[in-house]
Amino acid sequence: MYDDQYLEETLKRTFEDPVFYNVPKGIRRHDYKATHGWFLRMFRNKKPYREVFSDGVWGSIQDSLEAAIIRRHEILSTTPVTIKKISNRGLPLEPEKRIKRYEMPGKRRPYIYWKARWYDKDHKVQTEQFAVYTLGEEQAHALALEAATKRHNRKLKLSPVIYQ
């Protein structure tokens, strides 16, 4: 994945506009009193990588940014990500745990409904309510369970832990 072609594409994308550089993730510009350069900060498999590429050492802003990008590429290509992050705040896998009965006070009678939750194709939480008064207790529960079961995206949302 992180081959020489990827490095060339990254360098081309970064320097295609001479006024505004399209800097990749993990690299930031630092201009302080005596230090001017690019700061590379990455995490690969819980190991931190932090380096400063000073303009004075590398000769110019562009040369120091290119050195930072090349070093970033070396780190990415030599240390593949083995740790995957699964959010512990996600919805439960069992559809029975993604439905719940709610009862809210009303003026004449309480509003009772079953609420179903699920992930759509983009892993966004979707909800739908099924009123007990209009559908009946058993029908509202069955429709909520069916919605939570059939509409749920079963793929886990995994994201590699690269940057912090």
What is the predicted pLDDT for the residue at 163?
44
What is the predicted pLDDT for the residue at 153?
86
What is the predicted pLDDT for the residue at 164?
39
What is the predicted pLDDT for the residue at 35?
85
Mode of pairing for the β-strands spanning 47-54 and 84-85: unpaired
What is the predicted pLDDT for the residue at 129?
96
What is the predicted pLDDT for the residue at 90?
77
Written as tens digits, the pLDDT of the chain (164 aa) is: 678 888 899 899 999 988 888 899 899 999 988 889 999 999 887 789 999 999 999 999 999 999 999 999 999 888 876 656 666 667 888 899 999 999 999 889 999 999 999 998 888 899 999 999 999 999 999 999 999 999 998 876 665 554 43
What is the predicted pLDDT for the residue at 151?
92
Please tell me the pTM assigned to this model: 0.52
Note whether 64 and 57 are within 8 A (CB): yes
What is the predicted pLDDT for the residue at 57?
92
